Each structure stands twice: as C-alpha cells, then as structure tokens.
Amino acid sequence: MKEYLKILSMVLVITLAVYPIISSVQAQQIYDPRDKNIPPIPSDLKQFYNNFRQKHTPELVRFLLAGSWNKDTDKVAKDFFSIGNFMVVHDTGKLQTNTSRLAENYLKDNVTNPLKAKKSITLQTGETLKFKKLDRLSTAKLYYYYVRDHIFFPHSSNEGGVTNRIPGFNLLVTTTSERVRFPTETVAAGVGACADQALLLAALLYMDGYEVAIGTAPSIGTKNEDGSITWAGYHVCVYLKDEGWGIGRHELKDDEFGNKMDGKWIILDPINSPRHVQNMRMMGGGKVLEFGDDPAWLNIISFDDPLVGYALIDEKAAKEFSV
C-alpha cells in the first residue's frame, strides 16, 4: 500500500510539474486560417497598383521612414492620409473606374459576401466566432476579426517580411517588400503590416456604409534620461464611429482635413492578433485586442502628440486626389 501511494505521489508531482509546460506549448500553437485558394488579382488591376505605387513612391517612403526627426510631420501624415483615403475609396468601387469596380468585386467575392453567408469567422486560436443573424455590430466584428486573424503580420522572409532590431529602440521592425498595399492586394497576399491591415479594415467597413477613419500613432519610442519619451515612426490603425452600441469611448477633434469627428469612436488595431503579439516590441507592449479593446499604446501616448492623427474616409477627397 505504501509503495502504491509512493508511486501515486510521484505521478502526481510529475503531472503538476509537466502540466504548465504542456499548457504553455499548446498556447503557442496558432491555427492558420488563411485562405490558400484565393484567386489572383486581375491583371489590369495589378498593373494599376504597380503604376500607382511607382508614381507615389516618394510619399510612401517618407511616411514609412518619417518620425520625430522629420521637421514636417504634419505634411508627411497628410500625404499618407490623402493616399490612404484614395486607396480605400478606389478599392470599394466608389471611383466608378474599371479598376475600382474590379477591386470592389474582388473584395465582395472573396471577403464580404463569404463572411455574410457563413455568419462566422475562424480565429487563430482555432475557435469560431458565430452569429445567428447579422446586425451592424456583428458585421463590423466579422470584418475586424477577419483582418486581425486571417491577415498575418509578415514575420518571415517567405511572408514578405524583413525583421531587424533597431539599436536603442524597444522595437522589432518588420517591413514588407511592397511597402503599403492596396486592400485587395492585402487580401490576395494574406499578409500585411499595420498600414496594410488598417487600409483593408477601413475598406471593408466603408464598403458597408460605416463611418470610418484612418489613424496614425507613434510606433517607435526610446526613454530619455529625464523620463520623457522620444517618438519616431508611424503606426496605423482604424477609428470606427459607434452607431449606438455603447462601446465607443473616444471623443475626437476635427480630422486632419478639418472634417467634424462627432460622436464616440472605437479604436481598432488589428495587428494585435494572437500570433503577432508574441513578436511585438512596441512601446507599451502588445496584447491580444478583442473588438472594442483599446490598444496598449494609448496608455502612454497622448492624443495631442504630433504623430497622432486621423482622417475620415472621404469619397470627395479621394476623387480630388485622383485628378
């Protein structure tokens, strides 16, 4: 009997010692829900994207490399908001051009229509978020979780990412070979950095008539000897106007172009997925964000910071940009 109890005790001790390790390993396993059978982008549309990117390379590079060392951060941000606005409006079919309609149909056929038909989305955890019926709030959630969990932040070279640590900054910087993607390109690739994911989420929401804005915040920070923080670089997110759901907490000033931002707004930061937060080194840290959660950087970054900005998706402004 004593021998039996001794063996039982040993098994119990080993189980208690091993169980947290097993749980930890299982917690690190991320289910890959990306659609591997998504069709290629139509050739005419792909050519349009390439031509646009070549034409606006200087503005896109200035945005990606800009930071506190740039003397004209306001112009850099406005250039990006203008381009980002155009990219979203173009891909939602609002420009009434052949390429604009091609992009709209691509997003509908491969993202919005399938999501609405299934009324569900598989998450990186392997769980499935299901809705019995879709209202405005549940549809917005479907779009958020699609971008958060089905568009992977590019970590490895085979995903188009190049990751390096910048000395003196608490950040692992990941860039993409194509710089900033149009929403349709991000869907086709299945990967995208913060700007790519934000523009895609803004497009999906805008296509369904939500009031939405692109937002920027500092992405790199280093603490000075006096305790202050020197910010640099841009992080991109989305602001969604609360339609009476009681989730929005943020009252905003006029946007970068003087448009009124009335009501309460929700910050949506889709790079905070279960997979990516394990690799995030942003100031403030990273945590998995559910729909309506505020990002960690909001705890240490003021809305008054010059690198914080937002601009409504505006069809009129996009058409003026395309002229």
pLDDT tier, 9 (very low <50, low <70, confident <90, very high otherwise): very low
The mean-pLDDT minimum among 63-77, 190-204, 305-319 falls in 63-77
The 10s digit of each residue's pLDDT in 15-28 is: 333 222 222 223 45
The 10s digit of each residue's pLDDT in 38-48 is: 999 999 999 99
pLDDT tier, 7 (very low <50, low <70, confident <90, very high otherwise): very low
The mean-pLDDT minimum among 156-160, 260-264, 308-312 falls in 156-160
Mean pLDDT of the chain: 82
Q: For position 63, what pLDDT does the model report?
A: 76
Q: Rounded distance, CA 226 to CA 248, Å?
A: 35
Q: Is the pLDDT of residue 300 over 90?
A: no
The mean-pLDDT minimum among 5-9, 146-150, 302-306 falls in 5-9
Give the angle 177-178-183 at the CA atoms, nearest 5°. 140
Q: For position 285, what pLDDT does the model report?
A: 64
Average pLDDT over residues 108-126: 97
Q: For position 323, what pLDDT does the model report?
A: 61
Q: For position 14, what pLDDT does the model report?
A: 29
Q: For position 26, what pLDDT does the model report?
A: 36
Q: Rounded distance, CA 120 to CA 131, Å?
A: 6
Percent of the chain with pLDDT over 70: 78
Q: Rounded distance, CA 125 to CA 128, Å?
A: 9
Q: For position 48, what pLDDT does the model report?
A: 97
Q: Which amino acid would we find at residue 120?
A: S
Give Cα separations from 51 to 30, 48, 56, 126, 196 (angstroms). 36, 5, 9, 39, 18
The 10s digit of each residue's pLDDT in 78-106 is: 888 999 999 999 999 999 899 999 999 99
pLDDT tier, 52 (very low <50, low <70, confident <90, very high otherwise): very high
Q: Is the pLDDT of residue 77 over 70?
A: yes
Q: For position 36, what pLDDT does the model report?
A: 81
Q: For position 162, what pLDDT does the model report?
A: 53
Q: Which amino acid would we find at residue 93?
A: G
The 10s digit of each residue's pLDDT in 134-163 is: 999 999 999 999 999 999 998 876 666 655
Q: Rounded distance, CA 176 to CA 166, Å?
A: 16
